[in-house]
């Protein structure tokens, strides 16, 4: 239900062009990567000290799953411009996909050092801390994400998940409600709210939440089977 997000890819270079017969038989994605990198390398010959160009190379490698090369490019961009927040952020995301958790945490912290209001970096830190079982740090990170962006509906849901894991359902419940208020099309928040209501013994609100989910997303959505089954259970209990 969570995810670690990266900055959107910039419109970097055109990936078209004619290839030889040998290139046509190669992996098309790899051929596109090679073409794009070659074009950026030509620009780097003229601007070898450009942190932006190294960052863009990192984005390309990242896009095509070349994690080690992406790391090297992002680190080069940072070496040229220490306060390059997006490079720290993207580097953290690559580190996380590589299982380099502590390095990912450090890179997100560096991004926040240069941009203290970077809500997404706080949210991603919270995600990692929660994954590693450090709920105190996860709670603090999600709170900072919300302070930095009061409309960050995912962060409300994520903070609610921390409280739910601690069985502090009374604290989790209003956070799930806030996430839904901010983003009515956020299915996980309905499920989390329903489960919090169940834990608190609030059958009427649980039923209302499950029905709201089905009304919003229909009978064939990801959690619709769960919602229908739970509503049937509630109906049996009320008989």
Q: Which two tokens stand for residue 148?
A: 């930095």
d(CA 135, CA 129): 7
What pLDDT was estimated at residue 106?
98
Residue 42 pLDDT grade (very low, low, confident, very high; cuts 50, 70, 90): confident
CA–chain centroid gap for 50, Å, is 28
Domain boundaries along the sequence of the chain: 26-116, 151-239
Residue 24 has pLDDT above 60, yes or no: no
Using an 8 Å Cβ cutoff, are 186 and 195 in contact?
no
Q: What is the pLDDT of residues 195-229, one digit of tens each?
A: 999 999 999 999 999 999 999 999 999 999 999 99
Tell me the CATH architecture of domain 26-116: Alpha Horseshoe (1.25)
If one compares 31 and 77, the residue with the highest pLDDT of the two is: 77
Residue 25 has pLDDT above 70, yes or no: no
d(CA 179, CA 161): 12
d(CA 158, CA 7): 20
Q: What is the pLDDT of residues 93-133, one digit of tens each?
A: 999 999 999 999 999 999 999 999 999 999 999 999 999 99
For residue 26, the 8-state DSSP code is S
The overall pTM is greater than 0.85: no
Using an 8 Å Cβ cutoff, are 157 and 176 in contact?
yes
CA–chain centroid gap for 209, Å, is 25
Q: What is the pLDDT of residues 48-95, one digit of tens each?
A: 789 999 999 999 899 889 999 999 999 999 999 999 999 999 999 999
d(CA 169, CA 139): 14
Are domains 26-116 and 151-239 of this chain identical in fold? yes
What pLDDT was estimated at residue 26?
54
Compute the average pLDDT of residues 4-31.
Answer: 42
Q: Domain 151-239 falls in which CATH fold?
A: 1.25.40
For residue 8, the 8-state DSSP code is P
What pLDDT was estimated at residue 100?
97
CA triple 161-165-169, angle to 5 deg: 75
């Amino acid at each position: 239900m969570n995810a670690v997000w990266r900055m959107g890819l910039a419109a970097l270079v055109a990936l078209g062009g004619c290839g030889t017969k040998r290139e046509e038989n190669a992996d098309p994605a790899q051929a596109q990567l090679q073409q794009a990198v070659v074009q950026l390398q030509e620009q780097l010959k003229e601007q070898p000290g450009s942190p932006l160009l190294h960052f863009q190379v990192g984005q390309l490698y990242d896009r095509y799953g070349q994690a080690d090369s992406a790391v090297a490019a992002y680190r080069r961009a940072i070496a040229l411009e220490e306060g390059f927040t997006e490079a720290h952020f993207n580097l953290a995301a690559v580190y996380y996909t590589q299982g380099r958790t502590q390095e990912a945490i450090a890179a997100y912290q560096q991004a926040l050092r240069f941009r203290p209001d970077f809500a997404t970096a706080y949210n991603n830190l919270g995600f990692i801390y929660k994954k590693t079982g450090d709920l105190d740090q996860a709670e603090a990170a999600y709170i900072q994400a919300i302070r930095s962006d009061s409309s960050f509906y995912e962060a409300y849901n994520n903070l609610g998940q921390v409280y739910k894991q601690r069985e502090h359902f009374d604290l989790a419940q209003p956070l799930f409600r806030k996430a839904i208020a901010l983003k009515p099309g956020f299915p996980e928040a309905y499920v989390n709210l329903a489960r919090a209501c169940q834990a608190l013994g609030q059958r009427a609100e649980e039923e209302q939440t499950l029905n709201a989910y089905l009304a919003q997303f229909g009978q064939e959505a990801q959690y619709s089977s769960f919602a229908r089954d739970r509503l049937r259970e509630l109906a049996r209990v009320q008989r």
